[in-house]
Amino acid sequence: MNLVAKKIHQRLQPVKRSERTTAVKLAGKTHLARYGIDQFITKISSQAPPGSFLLDGGAGSCRYKNFVPHARYVGLDQSSKLHRVFGDIDVRGDLSDLPFRDNSFGATLSVEVLEHVKEPGLVLAELYRVLQPGGKLFLVAPQGWEEHGAPYDYFRFTSFGLRYLFERVGFEVLSIEPLGGYFWYLGHRIAKSYRYLFPAGRSRIRKFFDAPLRPPGRFLLRWAIPYLCFYLDRTDRKKSFTLNYGAVCRKPL
C-alpha cells in the first residue's frame, strides 16, 4: 500500500451508529436535476457494504458523504484544475491514475464526473481496479446538459454508450436508468430560462422596467412550471429524453 492509501486507512476509522448522520434530505421537486440524482443516490446507498471504504471519485464538495453514513467515505478530487473551493476532500489525485492499490474499496461513487474527463474509459478502468471483487460502482452521467465547467467538459452519454464503456473495462452492468424523462428535462430547461430573461448584467434601465415582471417570472419559471413538470413526467413511459442516467455496475467475483 502506498503512503496516501496508508494515511487514509489510518485516518478513517469506523464510527459509532449514534455518531452517524442521516442522509441529506432530497432537493425540492422544483430542482429536478438535483432531485433525480439525490433520489438515485438515496435508493442505492444501502448497497454499499457497511463498514467498507467507499471512494467518491470527483467528490467536489463531498455532497454525498452523508448519504452513506454506514460506509467509510473517502473523497478524492483534483481541485487545482477546476479552480473551485472544495469541501472536506481526503485525497487530491488524478482519476486516471488513482493513488490506491488494487481491490481497496468495497464501493465506488462517481456523480456528474465522467463528462469532465478526456479519457472516460481510462477513469472507469481505474475505478474497476481499486474495487474489491463483488464491489459496486454507482455512477451518474448526463445525457442532456448545457456546456459547464469550461473548459473541462467533453462528453454526453446515452445508455448504450455507458453500457459499452462499462463492459469494455470488465464491469457487469446491473442497471442503467434515466433519472427523469421529457418533462423533468423540460422543467429544468424552463427554470434555467430565468437567467436569460433577467440576466445579472443587464442595464439599470432594463432593471427598472422589468422590476414588476421579476417576481411573477421567478414564481412561474423557477417554481410553478417545474413543479407541474415533476408530475407530468409520469406520462413519459419511454424516457428517451433525460437529464442524467444513474447506473449500478459490479466487478465480477
Does 243 lie in the same domain as 227?
A: no
pLDDT at residue number 89: 84
Q: What is the pLDDT of residues 213-251, one digit of tens each?
A: 999 999 999 999 999 999 999 999 999 999 999 999 999
Does 81 lie in the same domain as 10?
A: yes
Q: Is the dihedral of CA 97, 98, 100, 105 positive or negative?
A: negative
Number of domains in the chain: 2
Does 176 lie in the same domain as 155?
A: yes
Does 119 lie in the same domain as 77?
A: yes
State what percent of residues in the chain have pLDDT above 70.
86
Identify the CATH number of the domain in which residue 21 sits.
3.40.50.150
Q: What is the pLDDT of residues 134-180, one digit of tens each?
A: 999 999 999 988 888 888 899 999 999 999 999 999 999 999 999 99
Does 218 lie in the same domain as 98?
A: no
What is the domain extent for residue 23? 3-181+238-250
Q: What is the pLDDT of residues 85-109, one digit of tens each?
A: 555 788 989 999 999 999 999 999 9
Q: Is 19 exposed, middle or buried (0-12, 13-18, 19+ CB in 10 A)?
A: exposed
Pair 181, 236: CB distance under 8 Å: yes
Pair 221, 193: CB distance under 8 Å: yes
pLDDT at residue number 82: 46
Distance CA 180, CA 34 (A): 11
Does 199 lie in the same domain as 163?
A: no
CA 251, distance to chain mean position in Å, is 20
Distance CA 73, CA 8 (A): 10
Give Cβ neighbours of residue 88 (< 8 Å, ≥ 6 apart). Answer: 62, 65, 75
Give which of 227, 240, 170 is closest to 31, Cα–Cα.
227
Does 196 lie in the same domain as 176?
A: no
Overall residue count recorded for the chain in this entry: 253
Pair 174, 249: CB distance under 8 Å: yes
Does 201 lie in the same domain as 114?
A: no
Query: Is the pLDDT at 83 greater than 70, yes or no?
Result: no
